[in-house]
Amino acid sequence: MEEKKKIIFSGIQPSGNLTIGNYLGALKNWVKLQDKYDCYFCVVDLHAITVRQQPKDLRRRTLEVLAIYLAAGIDPERNTIFIQSHVPTHCEAAWLLNCFTYVGELSRMTQYKNKSQKYSDSGDPISAGLLNYPVLMAADILLYNADLVPVGKDQTQHIELTRDIAQRFNNIYSPTFTIPEGYIPESGAKVMDLQEPTKKMSKSSGNPNSFILIMDPPEVIRRKINRCVTDSIGKVKYSDDQPGIKNLINILIALQGTTAEEVEKKYENLGYAEFKNDVAEAIVQELKPIQDKVKHYLENKYYLEEIYKKGAEKAHYVSNKVLRKMQKKIGFIPPAR
């Protein structure tokens, strides 16, 4: 008998244009994992509204993220690709799980602390959604009994919390959820900001020179890498004292599967300019075919529609069974038929 494949769940928010951080930290690994696992890849639009979105932009970006999934090589025949808001079980399960999660746990999350600090500094109110965001993420993962969650390093704390919530529910009632594990890539787990290389590269940064977008044209990629912050040491070394150079080396490793030693050796007698040129070319080479495909998919809205319709049907079918199980264990009366 064929062995049952383990399950993967992951998602990216359509809250901004995707960066090579999203690509190397998440997407590129999903593509590698799709052969061995039963995968659910979601465009997490419900997560995106924890900060205010322009409706028009949210619509455009949601489809663009979907197109990027496909263009990066995620096969819609083998994987379930869907849009989170099309599957209402996520919101329902999130409410239930909210009642098994403590405010203290949520307010200790680093991402919440950073984002809420940013808002209060600028005088903006902090939505309850921002605090509850990891509970919705836990619902995403637990509804599919995912074994593995491939994400960048910044998400490890949310996965720990998901495990705690799942364990708590299982202990109170009886085993219901698989306890998921994070899958953090060896390289590319944390692509750093090009202008402040001690900070994570983020699509929400105000300075466009600090990130490279998956959809940036080649000349923009070249310019941004050319201008990225390095140091005055002048040697291509993989060292914490040279965070800018270290970040570029990490990008090369994630793109080409090379090693830090190989990179150091190759550039032993060469300057930063040459090194930067090569990094830029490696990024351009990787992204150009993806960009062409994204454009192609976005011109075929019906094809995209077909994929997200089929994906949502499958996702709803699978997640609804788990939701019903949760409801039953909690003590809700099943609706009369």
Contact status: 155 vs ligand TRP (CB under 6 A) = yes
Among 17, 80, 155, 230, binds ligand AMP (CB under 6 A): 155
H or E segment and range at residue 260: helix 260-266
Residues 58-87 close enough to bind ligand AMP by CB under 6 A: none
* Among 161, 173, 143, residue whose Cα is nearest residue 315: 143
- Of ligand AMP, ligand TRP, none, which one sits near residue 191, judging by CB under 5 to 8 A according to partner kind? ligand AMP
- Of ligand TRP, ligand AMP, none, which one sits near residue 22, judging by CB under 5 to 8 A according to partner kind? ligand AMP
Which one, 44 or 131, has the nearer CB to ligand TRP? 44
* Among 267, 280, 257, 240, residue whose Cα is nearest residue 187: 257
Min dist. Cβ of residue 167 to ligand AMP (A): 22
Residue carrying structure tokens 């960066």: 19
How many other CB atoms are found less than 10 A from the CB of residue 6?
Answer: 16
- Of ligand AMP, ligand TRP, none, which one sits near residue 190, judging by CB under 5 to 8 A according to partner kind? ligand AMP
Question: x-or-dash pattern for ligand AMP, window 21-60, by CB under 6 A?
Answer: xx--xx----------------------------------
DSSP-assigned beta bridge partners for residue 8: 39, 148
Question: x-or-dash pattern for ligand AMP, window 113-152, by CB under 6 A?
Answer: --------------------------------------xx
In sequence order, the 6+-apart residues with CB closer than 8 A to the CB of 80 are 39, 40, 41, 311, 314, 315, 318
Question: Rounded CA gap, 337 and 324, in Å?
Answer: 14
Confirm whether residue 13 is marked as ligand binding. Answer: yes
Question: Rounded CA gap, 76 and 64, in Å?
Answer: 15
Contact status: 20 vs ligand TRP (CB under 6 A) = no
Question: Rounded CA gap, 324 and 334, in Å?
Answer: 8
Among 66, 68, 148, 151, binds ligand TRP (CB under 6 A): 151
What is the 3 state secondary structure string of 292-310?
A: HHHHHHHCCHHHHHHHHHH
- Stretch binding ligand TRP (CB under 6 A), from 29-37, 150-158, 233-241, 245-253: 150-158
3-state secondary structure at position 74: coil
3-state secondary structure at position 217: coil
- Stretch binding ligand TRP (CB under 6 A), from 6-14, 99-107, 224-232, 270-278: 6-14
Contact status: 201 vs ligand AMP (CB under 6 A) = yes
Question: Rounded CA gap, 181 and 10, in Å?
Answer: 12
| Catalytic residue numbers, as ranges | 115, 200, 203
Q: Which residues are annotated as a binding site for ATP?
A: 13-15, 21-22, 152-154, 191, 200-204
Q: Which residues are annotated as a binding site for L-tryptophan?
A: 140
Name the residues that contact ligand TRP, by CB under 6 A: 9-11, 13, 44, 47, 137, 140-141, 149, 151, 155, 158
